[in-house]
Structure 1
Amino acid sequence: MAEEQSSMSLEEEPERSRSPLPLPTVAEEGEGYQPVPVKPWTDWDSMQLLVEDSNLLSLAPTLEATLRYFITHYPHPITQISKCDLITLAICVVAFETGLSLDGCPLPPMYKSNQLSTYRSFDNRLVRYYGTHLPMAAFANRSKAFSLDLCLLPGGALEDVQRCALVAFDSSDLLIVSLIPAEGSSLPKGFSSALPISRYIPLVNIGRLTVCFQRMKELSRKLKDELFLPFRDIAYDSYQAFRYPSLMGLPEELKSRLVKYMDKSSQENLRVSYDESLRGCTYSSGG
């Protein structure tokens, strides 16, 4: 019997989910959630995990789920859905891909707050969850700018530095998008980008959503480079270092050498949060 199990071919190896969390619940399966299969021969280039993987034949599942939710709950006749609405939805999904979350939105039942790290980035299940829980009130008043409150770490105590607002203003052929840190935050005033709407949303066709989107890789990378990643990088720079087993298990001489490569601010943060375990390490006087 053992020999039969050991001789199992690669083709017979069962699929595994990429997520370390429990398998999807019956409710999730009812909503159409499908875990990402992981096999030695999995072709990752063919997987549509991100908005930028969308094309004229099919959209990324997270983007498509967000669009279906939006169309179902749209507060106006669906004939009034505009190019601006569609590009705004794509922007929201890209924000969730970058690790941002809906501020004030409870975590799904299968998650616990201690399972999520402030430093997490892409989580396919959370992207889908937040995309299908967008507050439709943000789309209700078409005469005002779109505004959505976001945060870095859901389900826990938040500091101002972890909060921001995604604001989008329709200026005819351009969409002015800004990511504004929360009031009272020590971060810069904000990050902005101007997007030519028709370059990414050539038309509106609710019956064929795939033809409504183009150049999604360009849009996704522009948003991440100009808005979301700069905010994350600067916000993280203000955090104190946390204790992690990978650091605790290192020999003292190796810890000391790593510390020498840190700038002065990082050394001080590390000293405050990890002083006891790093006792005896040599701290340099500069970066």
Structure 2
Amino acid sequence: MAAIVTTAMSAVGLLRRSKLAMAGAGMFLVLLLVGAAAPSMISASIVRDVHFEGKLMPPDARHWFGTDDYGRDLFSMVLLAANLDLSASIAIVAVATVIGVVLGALAGFVPRLDQPLMRITDIFLSVPNLVLAMAIAAVLGRSIGNLSIALVFVWWPIYCRLMRGQVLSEREKPYVKALAVLGVGRWRTIFRHVIPNAIFPVIARAPADVGLVLITMAALSYIGFGPGPYVPEWGSLIASGQAYIFQAPWLVIFPGAAIFLTSLSLNLIGDWARDAFDPRLRS
């Protein structure tokens, strides 16, 4: 526990000293707050309302991002999509992390579970991420929930293998052997001592993975594996706007800019997290 507190304090100090990390954290916080507030500020009916007389209007004082081919306010659509994309990306990485950490810790600490779990992990990792996600999403059907499940299946093996390697190193340390001599149970040792000390590389990886999940989810939505047409999502907005890219380029520019800025902020946070939490860099 002392190591966790010390590392957290060091990470906060490093964040304050890094202007890029502070900029990334500030940018992501703004995007997160805007996305969280969007459903309460914008009526859900805007997604289904059609105003053909006002379609493909360029950005102006009334419609900051212009309107789409159905006459819907693109600014509102992008904000509603921010809520969906950010919450889904964070949830996907959180669930994949929990599954991967628990299974990786068991594989690294319980020898009889190591081979079965690693073979399952190898099967998942042998298939390219996008191909695996497409296959699972195609089987489950088109919805944001099914797409999220598909991406969890893609990401948990990565965290499982990472955590296993850390636990294999951690279990050889003197304190683990001392706990065994003192009669501390295996499960208590794993969950109370080994995982908290081995989890730092996982924490270091997670922020950048949120950005990568966001891009992957947008790509899958772009090619038709995302939510339905009445669910705002950045990839889907780009897909629907590509037919008008020369006539109304703002339909692609603004959702694309949202993806870029979010990914940029998460990568800046990820660089800070690696410097702060990766033991190889901290040493």
The structure whose RCO (Cα within 8 Å, separation 6+) is larger is 2
| Higher strand content, 1 or 2 | 1
TM, length-normalised to structure 1: 0.26
TM, length-normalised to structure 2: 0.26
| Higher helix content, 1 or 2 | 2
